Amino acid sequence: MSLNISLYTISAVLILDNEGNRVFSKYYHSSLEETSDSQFETSSQQIKFEKSLFGKINKINQDILLYDNHLIVYKQTNDVIVVLVAKINENESLIYSTLANLFEAISILLDNTIDKQTILDKFDMVSLAIDETIDDGIIIEYDPATIVSRVTNPPSSHYDVNLKNIDISEKGIFNALSFASKKIGERLQQGL
Amino acid sequence: MSTSSYKKQDPYSSTAGLPDKMAVFQECLQQFNATPVNAKKCRQLLAKLLRLVYHGETFPSQESTTLFFSISKLFQHKDVSLRQLVYLTIKELSSTSDDILMVTSSIMKDIQGNDAVYKPNAIRTLSKVLDSTTVHSAERLFKNAIVDRNPVVSSAALISAYNLLPSSKDVVKRFTNETLETIQSYKQFPPTQFQLHEYYGSATSNLPSTSYMYQYHALGLIYQLRSNDKMALMKLITSLSEGSSLKNSLSIIQLIRYINKILLDDSSLIGHLFPILSGFLKHKSDMVELEACKTLVSLQHLIRDDQFMAIVTTLQKLLSVPRTATRFAAIRLINKISIKHPEKIMVVNIELESLINDSNRSISTLAITTLLKIMGAGTIDNGSGGSESVDRLIAKMTSLMDEITEDFKIVIIEAIENLALKFPSKHKKLVTFLTDLLRDDGSLQLKTSIVDALFDLIKFLPDPSAKQLMLMNLCEFIEDCEYTELSVRILHWLGDEGPNTSNPSYYIRHIYNRLVLENSIVRSSAVIALAKFAAVCGGDVAKNIIILLGRCLNDVDDEVRDRAAISLKFINSNKKKLIVSDSRYDLYTLENKLVHYLNDEENFNEKFDIDEVPVISNEEYNSIEYNRKINKLENINDNSAVTEVEERVKSPTGGEATPGDSLANDLLKQQEYSQQLSGVEQFVEYGKLTKSTIEPVYLSERESEIAVSVVKHLFIESKHLVLQYNINNTLPNTVLQDISVVAQPDNDLYQEDFIIPLAELRPNDTGIVYVSFTIPDIEEAELLSAFGNTIAYTSRDVDEDGQVDPNDDGGWPDEYQIDDLEVLACDFITPLYNSNFTALFDQLPYQDTSVVTINQVDNLEKAIEKLKNSLNMMPLDGSDFVSSGEAAHSLKLLGKDVWGGKVGASIRLASTGGKIVAKVEVKSETENFGNIVISSVY
């Protein structure tokens, strides 16, 4: 049983949707160990791993399992699963806490609604939260409140309203009108 | 634009909203180069870009560089939130772009600045764009950042330094003092860096003032810098473990790992370090407790039994926490302990029983297997009189059987089988349990596993009455078996085993019933089974069977008729060999040979020579099977066990990954050696290779300049021993020439024949030197010997092209002493299995006894391990298992020597005052061989 004395703890962070497709995937390759497994070298290997892992964990809320010589912890809500992959001998409780805290941080940032659409809409926040939690496989921060506090909100629009962006020429208004009529047409058709 | 954004709303499409790569690329170039930059839009664009990156898309190097360049334009904009995302994007793109150095100055400016929000991001990004040549310019920045009062900045700098270790360790080494200072310091989050989110309202007061993560990162870095200085490390550990200088759970875990590492290198420090570790067993954080348990369990050989109890108590507590991950970790550890020391964890029985119905399947599986092991140990510990505990185990199992799913039943069945194999004296109740289970309802899969278990038990249990009982149960089972597949297997088995029992007619009756009542597939296998009875038993039995088979000639099915006809023919003409065989070809070698044969059409000119394939007698085959079973049982350690059980539980059809095929591989290896040696002309006249050591023995450190391993080949017919020295030249710039090995036997009866030297060995090549000896006869006293080995060679330097410098003076001769090599009894023995050791042992004619002290071991377990290796004999009757705390033990070993005789050893071991004394009694069929075995025990 080899002992991991480096700080490199996490092998991958994944967010998968309800069909096992990736929403977010980041594999960390530790630079200190030359003999790190090349299991996730190529994109197709990664996707294969994700697909088969998804088959094991989808709709089975068990929090933790050993799979394919990795320690897997995950949380599933709505239509997404957040997964952390670590080495098989890693401290289970540590990895799970990291996941739970990351999950809490994301859920604060997304106003308690973690689903695929919200994640995609606020992808900048989610990416930043993950980056503030884990960097290169090293756990940076652990406290959800601190993680949240490190993630910046997107620039607010009123601060950046630029009159130049609003086209008030004749052509602009015409465009707006035609767009509106097209939309209304579509809606009506759907209604019928 | 409008339609595409409308499409994006569709949440049901699988690639919903994944933006087009080239469109994003174009838009990025456009927006990032615009003046003034629209911060909001750019952040959205960067998010889109990141979505592509995190989806696994990559940009070609050219485009990535262009992108990188335009992103760097965004540094002009002052918006904090945009800058933070810019850094993340740069970090993600840095691995694929070319001109990453151009952003260095912008990043450095940000680090020197006072904006706390993106300063950490800037530092972490900086380590990605630096390389070993430019890292010097950032040295000052890093030093300042490490000692920064803001913990996030400090952490970022420490992590960056950690990431720079592989490329520029010398620079990072200069941060040692700053890092040390950071571990002990107190840093507080500055109030300004916080971004407010609705969840927290406007108050930042309920946020922690610091999370001490910098301690963890500093500790990780300092270890990498100090890892080869043991004294400094000890000092660090001692100072940090006092009081509560480490506030962060992660850093404590890290500290525990360093303690573990130190103890692995130098176990004498356990007295000093154990109190520290055991202190962590009672910590407020369960991950620290868990890490302490993990470490102590892995070091359990250093710990006294009473100290061990503290670990078990902590684990017991962890078993009942609500968090699944922690329970899982605890049961995983307990399961690991149970493999070697089941008696130590009996106290957690109640917790385990309640975990059987845990909602997490991995936990319940582990709970069941662990429970079985503990109960198994319970039955053994109570000795021969402990029939109650077997009863209790069976009672518990029976009640379990109603509650659990079929997958778990299979796990239990296998465990019971293993128990019965390991401890044959307890088999009765266990067998009854299995046969009872066979009568209950169940799927084909469940029945198959029961039948498999019974087959194995029939094969390996020594007690003939138990065999009889199981066979009879199988007979009963096929009377009412709905699965054709199983009936066929059982009939085949009855044919093999039935004739050798005391009442073959009982089985014949049952088999004949099948012939009347079943479908054609079962009928045809029944015909063959009957034929076996006729062939083996002969006499009246044969006569009766001929009558029975005669009736089958009128069967409606042609297969049954054919089989009956050919069987009758064989019986009448007394061709017993064609019906029952006592040996078989080694299938692995056969397959290998056939594949080899088919690969080349030229081979078709000659007939395939079946004689090249070794024939394995049933006895030897049983040895292999038995070994495989037992190995499988023992190798079930932590990881594989869980995954394996998991795999099997979840995918019942999935075939097992060839565990324990090592023996088959050994045979293959032997074949390879034999082929290799037959290629050397000097060895052709030596005749057939009798035996080779399978694993090369290393005579030097594997990493040393010239790494040498040796394989011993024995030609017993022509009395030769060939030593094959595999020499690996690991020197990068040196060619070795005229290499030979001087092997000096300490036994005068060994005559050196010749040496086949090696002309030249280039760097990183491996070559072979053979040394051949004529060995003495078995009749002539001393057969064993030790060899002193020296390599002699001429070493010459080579230039970078690998050419030997023509001007040098022919190099200089050198010698290199390597470890000694011993020829021991194990070189003359192969393991052999027999279910009835005692009876066989008494029959062997030649006997030798002696009393010896076994060196270099301090407990019985290790002594047995050593004996098994140095004699290469098979431990029987489960006698290689010692329950801990026992002071005396008796080991029964059986093997076959290279002259074809059986050799048995009954070794009584006693442990007194840290020494192991053995009374060895060896009996052999080959004269004088007992002596050799005894001399190999020391």
What pLDDT digit, counting tens, does each position of B608-639 carry?
Answer: 777 777 777 776 677 767 766 666 555 444 34
Q: What is the pLDDT of residue B883?
A: 62
| Distance of residue B223 Cα from the nearest chain A Cα, in angstroms | 9
Instruction: For residues B594 and B92, give the distance between their C-alpha atoms in angstroms, rounded to a whole number.
Output: 52
Pair of tokens at residue A36: 């790190």
Q: What is the CATH number of domain B2-195+208-236?
A: 1.25.10.10
Q: Inter-chain contact B17–A142, Cβ cutoff 8 Å?
A: no
Among B11, B80, B298, the residue with its CB nearest the CB of A116 is B11
For residue A95, being part of any structural domain is answered with yes
Q: Find the residue in B nearest to A118 (Cα).
A: B11
Is pLDDT above 50 for B409?
Answer: yes
A131 contacts in chain B (CB < 8 Å): 88, 91, 121
For residue A77, being part of any structural domain is answered with yes
Q: What is the pLDDT of residue A166?
A: 52
| Distance of residue A168 Cα from the nearest chain B Cα, in angstroms | 18
B90 contacts in chain A (CB < 8 Å): none
Q: What is the pLDDT of residue A38?
A: 59
Q: Inter-chain contact B642–A25, Cβ cutoff 8 Å?
A: no
**Whether A7 contacts B265, CB under 8 Å:** no
Q: How many CB atoms neighbour CB B226 within 10 A?
A: 19
Q: What is the mean pLDDT of residues B243-257?
A: 82
Is pLDDT above 60 for B203?
Answer: no
List phi, psi (to 5°) of A146: -70, -40
Q: What is the pLDDT of residue B575?
A: 75
**Whether B713 contacts B677, CB under 8 Å:** yes
Q: What is the pLDDT of residue B147?
A: 85
Q: What per-residue string of b and e applies to B388-427 under the rule 16 or more CB within 10 Å gives b?
A: ebbeebbeebeebbeeeeebbbbbbbbbbbbbbbbbbebb
Spatial CA neighbour of B700 closest among B826, B790, B814: B790
Mutation site, A93, A107, A159, A178, interface B, largest B CB count within 10 A: A93
Among A108, A128, A179, the residue with its CB nearest the CB of B84 is A128
Q: What is the pLDDT of residue B233?
A: 82
Domain with CATH 3.30.310.10 in chain B: 827-936
Instruction: For residues B577 and B583, give the distance between their C-alpha atoms in angstroms, rounded to a whole number.
Output: 10
Question: How far is residue B76 from each of residues A59, B29, B64, B83, measured CA to CA in Å?
Answer: 47, 15, 20, 10
Q: Inter-chain contact B85–A128, Cβ cutoff 8 Å?
A: yes
Instruction: For residues B920 and B871, give the distance between their C-alpha atoms in angstroms, rounded to a whole number.
Output: 12
Q: What is the pLDDT of residue B807?
A: 62
**∠B343-B348-B354 over CA atoms, to 5°?**
135
Q: What is the pLDDT of residue A30?
A: 62
Question: How far is residue B157 from each of residues A146, B193, B764, measured CA to CA in Å?
Answer: 18, 17, 40
Instruction: Please give the helix or strand (H or E) that residue B793 lies within, else none.
Output: strand B785-797
The residue assigned the tokens 């003495």 is B776
Q: What is the mean pLDDT of residues B651-664?
A: 40
Pair of tokens at residue B8: 């994006």
Per-residue confidence at B648, pLDDT binned at 50, 70, 90?
very low
**Whether B689 contacts B680, CB under 8 Å:** no
Among A25, A117, A154, the residue with its CB nearest the CB of B56 is A25
Tell me the DSSP string of A141-153. Answer: ---HHHHHHHSPP
Is pLDDT above 60 for B16?
Answer: no
Torsion angle, alpha carbons of B262, B264, B265, B268, to 10: 80
Q: What is the mean pLDDT of residues B733-748?
A: 80
Q: How many CB atoms neighbour CB B855 within 10 A?
A: 10
Segment among A19-28, B189-198, B713-722 with least mean pLDDT: B189-198
For residue A50, being part of any structural domain is answered with yes
Instruction: For residues B399 and B821, give the distance between their C-alpha atoms in angstroms, rounded to a whole number.
Output: 57
Segment among A39-43, A44-48, B507-511, B869-873 with least mean pLDDT: A39-43
For residue A162, being part of any structural domain is answered with no
Residue of B382 and B289 predicted with greater confidence: B289
Is pLDDT above 80 for B321?
Answer: yes
Among A65, A88, A141, the residue with its CB nearest the CB of B213 is A141
For residue A60, being part of any structural domain is answered with yes
For residue A54, being part of any structural domain is answered with yes
Is pLDDT above 80 for B684?
Answer: no
Q: Inter-chain contact A93–B643, Cβ cutoff 8 Å?
A: no
Q: What is the pLDDT of residue B502?
A: 81
Q: Inter-chain contact B213–A88, Cβ cutoff 8 Å?
A: no
| The CATH fold of domain B673-823 | Immunoglobulin-like (2.60.40)
B162 contacts in chain A (CB < 8 Å): 7, 138
Q: What is the pLDDT of residue A96?
A: 92
Per-residue confidence at B194, pLDDT binned at 50, 70, 90?
low
Mutation site, B79, B223, B328, interface A, largest A CB count within 10 A: B328
Pair of tokens at residue B34: 């615009």
A26 contacts in chain B (CB < 8 Å): 54
Pair of tokens at residue B916: 């192991």
Helical spans, DSSP H, in A26-156: 43-57, 92-109, 116-121, 123-133, 144-150
Q: How many CB atoms neighbour CB B633 within 10 A?
A: 17
List phi, psi (to 5°) of B356: -60, -35
Among B54, B197, B249, the residue with its CB nearest the CB of A109 is B197
The helix, strand and coil proportions of chain B, stated in percent and rounded to the nearest 5, come to 60, 15, 30
Number of structural domains in chain A: 1
Q: Does this complex have an ipTM over 0.90?
A: no
Instruction: Please give the helix or strand (H or E) that residue B772 lies within, else none.
Output: strand B766-774
B216 contacts in chain A (CB < 8 Å): 7, 139
Domain with CATH 1.25.10.10 in chain B: 2-195+208-236
Q: Find the residue in B nearest to A21 (Cα).
A: B14
Spatial CA neighbour of B190 closest among B153, B142, B159, B156: B153
CB-defined contacts A:B, below 8 A = 224
Spatial CA neighbour of B372 closest among B633, B627, B630: B633
Q: What per-residue string of b and e applies to B890-927 under the rule 16 or more CB within 10 Å gives b?
A: ebbbbbbbbeebbbbbbbebbbeeeebbbebbbbbbbe
Q: Inter-chain contact B290–A64, Cβ cutoff 8 Å?
A: no
Which amino acid appears at position B799 of this protein? D
Q: What is the pLDDT of residue B310?
A: 84
Q: Find the residue in A nearest to B13 (Cα).
A: A19
A123 contacts in chain B (CB < 8 Å): 47-48, 50-51
B642 contacts in chain A (CB < 8 Å): 66
Percent of chain B with pLDDT over 70: 85
Segment among B385-394, B468-477, B580-589, B623-632 with least mean pLDDT: B385-394
Torsion angle, alpha carbons of B109, B112, B118, B122, to 10: 60
Count of alpha carbons within 13 angstroms of residue B553, beta-carbon side: 11
Pair of tokens at residue B81: 């939130």
Q: Inter-chain contact A149–B638, Cβ cutoff 8 Å?
A: no
Q: What is the mean pLDDT of residues B302-314?
A: 82
Q: What is the mean pLDDT of residues B683-709?
A: 76
Residue of B935 and A118 predicted with greater confidence: A118
For residue A4, being part of any structural domain is answered with no
CATH of the domain at A137: 3.30.450.60
Per-residue confidence at B5, pLDDT binned at 50, 70, 90?
very low
Q: What is the mean pLDDT of residues B290-307?
A: 83
B16 contacts in chain A (CB < 8 Å): 116-117, 120
Q: Find the residue in B nearest to A91 (Cα).
A: B291
Is pLDDT above 60 for B164?
Answer: yes
Q: Give SS3 for B330.
A: helix
Give one word for B326, left, alpha or beta, with left for phi > 0 and alpha for psi -120 to 50: alpha
Mutation site, B163, B204, B214, interface A, largest A CB count within 10 A: B163
Instruction: For residues B152 and B438, give the distance between their C-alpha atoms in angstroms, rounded to a whole number.
Output: 64
Pair of tokens at residue B79: 């918006």
Q: Inter-chain contact B199–A111, Cβ cutoff 8 Å?
A: yes
Instruction: For residues B127 and B139, give the distance between their C-alpha atoms in angstroms, rounded to a whole number.
Output: 11
What is the length of chain A? 192
Q: Find the residue in A nearest to B57 (Cα).
A: A43
Domain span at A23: 10-150
Q: Inter-chain contact A32–B166, Cβ cutoff 8 Å?
A: yes
A47 contacts in chain B (CB < 8 Å): 56
Is pLDDT above 80 for B877?
Answer: no
Q: What is the CATH number of domain B827-936?
A: 3.30.310.10
Helical spans, DSSP H, in B360-463: 361-381, 387-403, 406-422, 427-439, 444-460
Segment among B85-89, B122-126, B537-541 with least mean pLDDT: B537-541
Question: How far is residue B856 from each of residues B700, B787, B913, measured CA to CA in Å?
Answer: 20, 21, 13
Mutation site, A110, A124, A166, interface B, largest B CB count within 10 A: A124
Among B11, B257, B646, the residue with its CB nearest the CB of A5 is B257
Instruction: For residues B259 and B256, give the distance between their C-alpha atoms in angstroms, rounded to a whole number.
Output: 5
Q: What is the pLDDT of residue B631?
A: 61
Q: Give SS3 for A135.
A: strand
Pair of tokens at residue B708: 């040498």
Is pLDDT above 50 for B3?
Answer: no
Which amino acid appears at position A104 of this protein? E
Q: What is the mean pLDDT of residues B128-142?
A: 81
| Distance of residue A62 Cα from the nearest chain B Cα, in angstroms | 5
Segment among A153-167, B160-174, B562-576, B900-914 with least mean pLDDT: A153-167
Instruction: For residues A17 and A19, give the distance between their C-alpha atoms in angstroms, rounded to a whole number.
Output: 5
Is pLDDT above 80 for B66?
Answer: yes
Q: What is the CATH number of domain B463-580?
A: 1.25.40
Among A24, A141, A157, the residue with its CB nearest the CB of B54 is A24
| Distance of residue A63 Cα from the nearest chain B Cα, in angstroms | 7
| Distance of residue A77 Cα from the nearest chain B Cα, in angstroms | 16
Q: What is the mean pLDDT of residues B548-567?
A: 86
**Whether B937 contacts B852, CB under 8 Å:** yes
Q: Inter-chain contact B195–A141, Cβ cutoff 8 Å?
A: no
B91 contacts in chain A (CB < 8 Å): 131
Q: What is the pLDDT of residue A84?
A: 92
Percent of chain B with pLDDT over 90: 0
Q: Inter-chain contact A7–B216, Cβ cutoff 8 Å?
A: yes
Per-residue confidence at A99, pLDDT binned at 50, 70, 90?
very high
Q: Inter-chain contact B332–A92, Cβ cutoff 8 Å?
A: yes
Is pLDDT above 50 for B588?
Answer: yes
The residue assigned the tokens 């601190």 is A146
Q: Find the residue in B nearest to A71 (Cα).
A: B639
Among A96, A116, A120, the residue with its CB nearest the CB of B325 is A96
